[in-house]
């Protein structure tokens, strides 16, 4: 399966955020995460051990990301099409908030900032101008 750079970045971010959340909040048995649709090691080189609940959440999140009908994909919280349903929506918000704050508190603030803003904002921050047609 071929992915665009944006899809790889989104998948990598989701994997990292769920991995941080699980590592810091869940004790007990964890197994390396695997996904049926593609080999995770193509995107994330390190194994990501997750508990069963976080495995379920990450599987759902990756499935929703790959099904996203929008191109370019907007930030989920700004999207008119809400893909996450029920408990998944509140849980992924909790995971993103916790992991983002964790990264800020532990010196990974630049990664947290980059993943918090959309591509257009990042381009303007770097001095590149988008031409709208």
- Reported as type and span, the H/E element at residue 49 is strand 49-50
On whether the CB atoms of residues 108 and 16 are closer than 8 A, the answer is no
pTM: 0.74
> What's the pLDDT tens digit per position in 53-92?
999 999 999 988 888 877 777 677 777 777 788 898 889 8
Decide: residue 102, CB within 10 A, 0-12 exposed, 13-18 middle, 19+ buried: middle
On whether the CB atoms of residues 43 and 3 are closer than 8 A, the answer is yes
d(CA 75, CA 77): 6
- Which neighbouring-strand residues pair with 31? 50
Top pLDDT among 131 and 69 is at: 69
> What's the pLDDT tens digit per position in 7-54?
888 888 899 999 999 999 998 889 888 888 777 777 777 888 999 999
Taking 70 as the threshold, does the pLDDT of residue 103 lie above it?
yes
């Amino acid at each position: 399966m071929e992915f665009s750079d944006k899809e790889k970045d989104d998948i990598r971010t989701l994997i990292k955020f769920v991995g941080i959340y699980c590592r810091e909040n869940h004790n007990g048995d964890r197994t390396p995460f695997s996904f049926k649709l593609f080999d995770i090691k193509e995107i994330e080189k390190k194994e990501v051990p997750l508990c069963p609940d976080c495995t379920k959440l990450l599987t759902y999140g990756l499935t929703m990301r790959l099904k996203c009908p929008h191109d370019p994909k907007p930030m989920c919280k700004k999207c008119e099409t809400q893909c996450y349903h029920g408990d998944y929506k509140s849980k992924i918000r909790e995971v993103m908030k916790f992991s983002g704050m964790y990264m800020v508190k532990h010196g990974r603030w630049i990664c947290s900032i980059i993943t918090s803003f959309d591509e257009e904002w990042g381009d303007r921050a770097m001095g590149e101008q988008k031409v709208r047609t």
